[in-house]
Amino acid sequence: MKRWYGKLLGFFAGAALFRTNPLFGALIGLLIGHAFDTDWFKLSRDNPYAALGLTSDATDAEVDQAYRRLIAQYHPDRVAGAARELREQAETKAREINQAYDRIKTLRRSR
């Protein structure tokens, strides 16, 4: 589901902050809210747990289980005979899953 609340909050905050020209402020706020909603600031990409569909309080067993489940689902060998675009998407997703898993393991080892 796409996020929408950034646009709404930005619209009203911009209109309130630019009292001399509330329409201009609302449009600026709407643009900033859109940037937030579409993750231009890359807020969620820094969290390796989100890539595995977990929270940071997940156990090691849950991390391993989520990794195995996702890598089995998105492994490029599963779509070896498919179209080139589908293979590239699977490779990209598998790379993201592997990087997130490696990052989690590194973070947990350093504790």
CATH number at residue 71: 1.10.287.110
Domain with 15, as residue range(s), is 5-37
Dihedral sign (CA 90, 53, 45, 41): positive
Question: Do 29 and 53 belong together in one domain?
Answer: no
Rounded CA separation 67/62 (Å): 8
In a shared domain, residues 65 and 97: yes
Counting the structural domains of the chain, the total is 2
- Examine the domain organization and report whether 13 and 55 are in the same domain: no
- pTM of the complete model: 0.57
List average pLDDT for each run of 10 residues in the chain, which is 111 residues long.
73 83 84 77 71 89 95 88 88 92 88 69
Q: What is the pLDDT of residue 5?
A: 75
